[in-house]
Chains A and B, each alone.
Chain A
Amino acid sequence: MKIPEMIFNRVFRPILFVLLVLPALYYAWGFWQDNLGANPLEAIIRGLGDWALRILLLTLLISPLRRLLNWTQLLRMRRMLGLYAYFYVVLHLIGYLWFDQFFDWSEIWFDILERPFITVGMISVVLLTPLAITSTKGFIRRLGKRWKRLHTLIYPISMLAVLHFWWMAKLDKSEPLIYAVLLSILLAERLFRKYVK
Chain B
Amino acid sequence: MLILDSNKISENEVTDRAVYDNRRKFMKTAAGIGIVAVSGLPLGQAQAKSNYSTEEKKTDFKDISTYCNFYEFGTGKSDPAQNAHSLMTSPWDVVVEGECANPGKYNLEDIIKQVSLEERIYRFRCVEGWSMVIPWMGFPLAELIKRMEPTSKAKYVYFETLLDRKNMPGVARPVLDWPYAEGLRMDEAMNPLTLMGTGIYGKDLLNQNGAPLRLVVPWKYGFKSIKSIVKIRFTETQPSTSWQKANKNEYGFYSNVNPEVSHPRWSQRRERRIGQFKKIKTQKFNGYAEQVASMYSEMDLKKFF
Residues of A within 8 A of B (CB): 37-39, 41-42, 102, 107, 110-111, 114-117, 167-168, 170-172, 174
Residue pair A37, B67 in contact (C-beta under 8 Å): yes
Residue pair A171, B75 in contact (C-beta under 8 Å): yes
Residue pair B264, A41 in contact (C-beta under 8 Å): no
> For the complex, would chain A's binding face be called helix, strand, loop or mixed by DSSP majority?
helix
Nearest CB of chain A from residue B193's CB, rounded to whole Å:
25
Write out the residue numbers on chain B whose beta carbons fall within 8 Å of the beta carbon of A39: 67, 77, 130, 272, 274
Residues of B within 8 A of A (CB): 62-63, 66-67, 71, 75, 77-78, 128, 130, 173, 175-176, 246-247, 262, 264-267, 269-270, 272, 274-275, 277-279
A-B contacts, 14 listed (Cβ < 8 Å):
A37-B67, A37-B78, A38-B63, A38-B274, A39-B130, A39-B274, A110-B267, A114-B262, A115-B265, A115-B267, A168-B265, A171-B176, A171-B246, A172-B71
Write out the residue numbers on chain A whose beta carbons fall within 8 Å of the beta carbon of B262: 114
Write out the residue numbers on chain B whose beta carbons fall within 8 Å of the beta carbon of A38: 62-63, 66-67, 77, 274-275
Residue pair A107, B75 in contact (C-beta under 8 Å): no
Give how many A-B residue pairs fall within 8 Å (CB-CB): 51
Nearest CB of chain A from residue B243's CB, rounded to whole Å:
8
Nearest A residue (CB) for B262: A114
Nearest CB of chain B from residue A1's CB, rounded to whole Å:
39
Nearest B residue (CB) for A110: B267
Residue pair A115, B264 in contact (C-beta under 8 Å): yes
Residue pair A107, B269 in contact (C-beta under 8 Å): yes
Contacts known (A107-B267, A170-B128, A171-B247); A41 close to B67, Cβ less than 8 A: no
Residue pair B66, A37 in contact (C-beta under 8 Å): yes
Partner of B265, one of A41, A107, A170: A170
Write out the residue numbers on chain B whose beta carbons fall within 8 Å of the beta carbon of A174: 173
Partner of A111, one of B63, B128, B267, B277: B267
Nearest B residue (CB) for A117: B265
Residue pair B272, A41 in contact (C-beta under 8 Å): yes
Write out the residue numbers on chain A whose beta carbons fall within 8 Å of the beta carbon of B269: 107
Residue pair B175, A172 in contact (C-beta under 8 Å): yes
Measured between alpha carbons, how far is A168 from B263 in the docked complex, in Å? 12
Nearest A residue (CB) for B278: A102
User: 6 additional contacts, CB 8 Å, given A41-B272, A107-B269, A115-B264?
Assistant: A38-B77, A115-B267, A117-B265, A167-B265, A170-B128, A172-B175
Measured between alpha carbons, how far is A174 from B78 in the docked complex, in Å? 17
Residue pair B272, A42 in contact (C-beta under 8 Å): yes
Write out the residue numbers on chain A whose beta carbons fall within 8 Å of the beta carbon of B173: 172, 174
Write out the residue numbers on chain B whose beta carbons fall within 8 Å of the beta carbon of A171: 71, 75, 175-176, 246-247
Measured between alpha carbons, how far is A167 from B247 in the docked complex, in Å? 13
Measured between alpha carbons, how far is A185 from B51 in the docked complex, in Å? 60
Residue pair B274, A41 in contact (C-beta under 8 Å): no
Nearest A residue (CB) for B64: A38
Write out the residue numbers on chain B whose beta carbons fall within 8 Å of the beta carbon of A102: 278-279
Measured between alpha carbons, how far is A110 from B269 in the docked complex, in Å? 11
Measured between alpha carbons, how far is A114 from B247 in the docked complex, in Å? 18
Write out the residue numbers on chain A whose beta carbons fall within 8 Å of the beta carbon of B265: 115, 117, 167-168, 170
Nearest CB of chain A from residue B84's CB, rounded to whole Å:
16
Residue pair B264, A116 in contact (C-beta under 8 Å): yes
